[in-house]
Amino acid sequence: MSRRSKVQKEDELCALVDSELSQAIGADSSALSEQRAKAMEYYLGEPYGNEMEGQSHVRTREVLDTIEWIKPELMKIFASGTETVRFEPEGPEDVDGAQQATDYINYLFNRKNPGFKILYQWINDGLLQKNGVVKAWWDDSANKVRENYKGLTEIEVSMLTAPENVEVVDFAPLEGGEQPLFDVTILVTGPQRGLRIENIPPEEFLISKGATCINTSPFCAHISEKTISDLRTMGYSNSETEDLQSSSFMVSTDSLERQARYAKDDTDSDLSDSRDDVMRKVVYEECYIRTDFDGDGIAELRKVCKVGDAILANDEVDCMPFAGWTPIIISHKWAGLSMADLVMDVQLIQSQLLRNVLNNQYLTNNGRYAAIDGMVNMDDLLSSRAHGVVRMKMAGAVTRLDTPQLGQSAFQMLEYMDRLREKRTGVSERSQGLDPRSLGANQAASAVNQVMTAAQQRIELIARVFGETGLTDLFHLMYKLVLQNDSSKSIFRLRDVYVEVNPSDWRERSDSSVVVGLGNGSKESELMQLGVIFQQQLQLSQHPAFNSIVSRKNVYSTTEDMVKVVNKANAGRYFTNPESEEAKAYRKKTEDQQAAQGQQAQQMAEMAAQLDAQKVEIDRLKAATDQQYKDRMAAVAEADASTKAKKVAVDEQKGFDETALDRAELELEYEIEKEQGRAVALNR
């Protein structure tokens, strides 16, 4: 393509884009823009324009009440945990990859981007202004931080400026010191910003008429206000941005929606020349259009960035970086119905009914009077104050005109409009748990449960629509961006486990399952149901035939869901993930202890067996010893008996001998005495 033909093609492309912009849904002159502005005015409680001087101007807030009662339920469903969307595996070999993608993409959404804030504004835009849109893109630019240091030594300056990502912006030596000191200004370049997500105000997003969704739309655009400095930060050169001028018909900052959002008090947009040229504002048009720019006969999707008639970028891309949703889908239409659409007429009627009640009360307390002209001091009559005096020239010159009291019909109408709002939205005092009558003796528990369940089903349906449309599209887009741009390995801590991811190993996928955590009852009933599952898991884990179907991970998942029910984001504070390093270390320590205990028990058993054997041997030896002792004692006893017998014999012999001796002695003594007697006798 020659240079001239390329310029001509770009001129034609610019004209085509301008034509699409002027006709797109969401342009300032469209009916959708007017409806969104009206919804915002009702939400903020702005005057309706039918107020009459001297009468009540009160405005009820049904739109705000309805949206603000639905928002907490949706935020509890989608922002109460760390896993907003789950990627399902396409086959058994893809289980680990799908889990890794789930963990990493949710980590990028909730930690690297303000996930809660994004969800909050996204949900609010849909509930209030028909469509909520977010934008996701990969930002190659690096974070740059300017840092100033004063009074550094030469060594400190060298250490400070040594890293490759540090650039010296200013370097000034100080005078008068004993040693040279320096003031240094540096620019520190950080890593790439990576995946970025932002909410787009409804008035800044445009889409083709007849489009039903973003992905199949022939055209969509993001129109925003940028300074020249912003454009240069985005990578455009000074020469490209020097003489830019915005289009005259496309100024998003003056849109009806913006005027309504800021109550027409700060929407004046000054896009004229500024004293500081780099802070001059222009309207930046980031457009995505399907057209045959390369002339091959097939329309391709192109990203065209322009300011006024100047095209800054013209590239072929494979997808649009937007995801959107609408609470109540109208088939074959981009913009469905918002919750504001359902109750704006109710709010207007309720406001008028309440005004009538208040006006009647005002007239009752300070009513109208009939007075005879010229017979009453009108200043006295018009001054309504306590103990006031009205001067009259004749009695009866002033007569009160009675104001009829409103009957019960007015209050019945107010109640009817409340019921109508409840029927349309499902939001009521009973479903919010605020109506004490719903807990009275005359109200059956089943009836109360039916009311709350019906209201919950409305909110669950809105949650399902949000999950299956907006969230699913966003996370598919995030997955594609990470797969195409993030090729480095990353390690991050998730659910108390350090996870390593390498997106270059991921596979293309188009299926995901939205984790919404919807229940059929209150937290108490959900906890009860999870408790039943938990008990069943424990019973199965103890049964030999079924313990293989319940793992540690299954039980932990149940406890994790229990924590989520009570709105605690991180179950790791209360339970340890069995896949965490801490749990693995604990299990290894326990297994080592059990192994040591088993080894010790085996050693104790072996020692016990040895002791038993020794005891048997000791018992045998003891029995043998006892037998030997008995034998010895028997022998001793036998010997003692023999000895005793011998002793008896000896004793007997001794006794016999002693007796014989005694007898002999006696006989001897007798013989002696006898001889002595003879001798005496002879001597005589």
226 closest CA partner among 329, 120, 306:
306
pLDDT-derived band at 114 (thresholds 50, 70, 90) equals very high
Residue 293 phi/psi, 5-degree rounding, is: -80, -35
Bridge partner list, 42: none
Q: How far apart are the C-alpha atoms of 333 and 207, rounded to whole Å?
A: 11
Phi/psi for 644 (5° steps) reads -60, -40
pLDDT of amino acid 145: 84
User: Is the C-alpha dihedral spanning 206, 43, 130, 478 positive or negative?
Assistant: positive
**DSSP letter string, 497-536:** EEEEE-GGG-------EE-----SS-HHHHHHHHHHHHHH
Poorest-pLDDT segment among 27-41, 146-160, 505-519, 633-647: 505-519
pLDDT at 386 over 70: yes
Confirm whether 72 is domain-assigned: yes
> Is residue 119 within a helix (H) or strand (E), and if so which, with residue range?
helix 115-129
In a domain? residue 386: no
What was the pLDDT predicted at 567? 62
Q: Is the pLDDT of residue 236 over 50?
A: yes
Domain contains 168? no
- The whole-model pTM stands at 0.73
Mean per-residue pLDDT, 205-229: 91
Q: 588-604 pLDDT, tens per residue?
A: 888 888 888 888 888 88
Least confident of 247-256, 485-494, 651-660: 247-256
The answer to whether residue 11 sits within a structural domain is: no
Residue 213 lies in a domain: no
646 or 69, greater pLDDT: 69
Number of domains the chain contains: 1
Does residue 639 or residue 148 have the better pLDDT?
148
Percent of the chain at pLDDT > 70 equals 86
pLDDT of residue 520: 42
Q: Which of 68-82, 169-183, 657-671 has the lowest mean pLDDT?
A: 657-671
Question: So what's the pLDDT on residue 528?
Answer: 86
Q: CA nearest 345: which of 408, 420, 413, 412?
A: 420
pLDDT tier for residue 261 given thresholds of 50, 70 and 90: confident
| CA 15/CA 221 separation, integer angstroms | 15
SS3 of 92-117:
HHHHHHHHHHHHHHHHHHHHHCCHHH
What's the pLDDT at 440? 41
Specify the higher pLDDT residue, 338 or 91. 338
73 belongs to a structural domain: yes
Which residues, in sequence order, are bridge partners of residue 392?
376
- Quick one: pLDDT at residue 433? 46
In a domain, residue 438? The reply is yes
Residue pair 477/109 in contact (Cβ under 8 Å)? The answer is no
The rounded distance, in Å, linking the Cα atoms of 552 and 541 is 9
Containing 191, the helix (H) or strand (E) segment is strand 181-200
Provide mean pLDDT across the span 654-670: 74
Helix, strand, coil share of the chain (percent; to 5): 55, 15, 30
Residue 563 is assigned to a structural domain of this protein: no
Tell me what pLDDT residue 138 has.
Answer: 92
Name the helix (H) or strand (E) containing 221: strand 219-227
Which region among 239-253, 284-298, 467-481 has the lowest average model confidence (pLDDT)? 239-253
Domain extent at residue 422: 52-131+337-368+400-521
* Average pLDDT for the chain: 81
The yes-or-no verdict on residue 610 having pLDDT over 80 is yes
Which string of DSSP letters, residue by residue, matches 147-161?
EEEEEE-HHHHHHHH
Predicted local confidence at residue 266, as pLDDT: 54
Asked whether the predicted pLDDT for residue 127 surpasses 90, the reply is yes
Question: At residue 505, what is the residue type?
Answer: D
pLDDT in tens, 13-61: 999 998 888 888 876 667 888 899 999 999 999 999 888 888 889 899 9
Does residue 2 have a pLDDT over 60? no
- As a whole number of angstroms, the distance between CA 371 and CA 392 comes to 10
Report CA 139 to chain centroid distance, whole Å. Answer: 24
For residue 40, the tally of other CB atoms under 10 A from its CB is: 23
